[in-house]
Chain A
């Protein structure tokens, strides 16, 4: 694909977003919606820039990011570990598979009241909820990635004298990396969503809390600002993960 084709693709992609903003602007400037219901986009973005400079807003972002990363890291470590173990050992698989089948479709948000009662209203309950929600996509894609590794690769490594306990880390793990990273991407989006929801339910800090306080006082402008911020955070983190992916998979053909 040449440069010109790519630029028309990008332009085409901007059209619906621009249209959305235009309709938003139109509705509010022609007076179909009062300011209190739908503030014009310019006002919202001004407010966003203005808020980003303030101390409280930065602290809210830091609190949210901390919970997000803590939960997500726990999910990655547990998910990749358990996924690899289940792919490598039939005994572990026999135990893990039914438990995952029961727990994966369980709506984790429903567990949140229990976590609140057990772990309190601070960071812990939110981190555990994020980890529980992000865990299963990562675990499942690690497991599928690791069980799809070509048997020939393992045989070749064994023929070349690799000890059995090293095969897992030298052959299976690298071969499963594309699939693991796909799982991480899904897990990351879920983490963004869940951390925000948890903060909306009960919190004294964080972006979700800002949204709830704005909603209670009917400050429509302040309600849009945390939403846009979490969306931007999600996009940034997604782009970082994408960069990590193309770095880690730099030898692989087309992924």
Chain B
């Protein structure tokens, strides 16, 4: 099995890294501290196709394969996990479901402005009573003559505060869960749609995560994605793709924490020698590097699998499970290696530490990932 990053992926990596380091890095601490969404950086990213990574050229996107997509998210997240989060959610659970399940008309209507970055995408599933248990969703859509009327509240919506196109998972009338779920595309200027307060979160603070309210929000029939009853299927497909993005995010965070730890260990001296001379620290660095490398292989394997057209759900879950755990472990070690300085906002590692944790929670908690993997194992023929 050949595994060699090809020249194209190298070039993409360098291109995104150069952009991230020049345009995003100088502002990262400020954005985190002020919980501010970087609109000016977004303006610079739009012409570079960051908001249409896997959208075909004809629709104004970059037409990238999934490995390239993962590289982009990894490199963005290495500098700013919050920006990486915005881009991955927009691309994976915002645009992708429309490309996959939308009619030609829907695709032509919704995708180009999103690919241009003029409308930022979001997908809302979670509610107060429905986290891991998607079955507890209460937001409902009532079918009327010419459309649907939505009512409900979604919470913890990534990009909530800035989104222009939202995919909403809702239930319609009827007892049978299997046939009464649907995903609706809501444009940000629809009457009845409003954004709640931005959440005050531990990490990824530059991303405006918020609640979204739907109060008698009417949408035409043409805003229903796919068919009624396909809601769960669309949701799960979206999440599979989303998981690759989140795994890439987590990997980027881990990579940043690791690089900072290596350079700190080389510089910082105690007992008359640099930390890098102590076996304990060397062991930490070795473990961090190995974990990151293993995570990286899982991630790119999942991406390659998706591109090959084969089922990739279990692989994406494994990647997300592993990468997020690596991010948590590596950032924890990174703070430890930095000692007291690691706990201070003077250094970036405490931000990586705060940012890392949520990768084990959103887009399916690590427990849910294990469920997915276990199901995949147990549903194999004996």
Interaction A to B: no
| Residues of chain B whose beta carbon lies under 8 Å from any beta carbon of chain A | none
| Residues of chain A whose beta carbon lies under 8 Å from any beta carbon of chain B | none
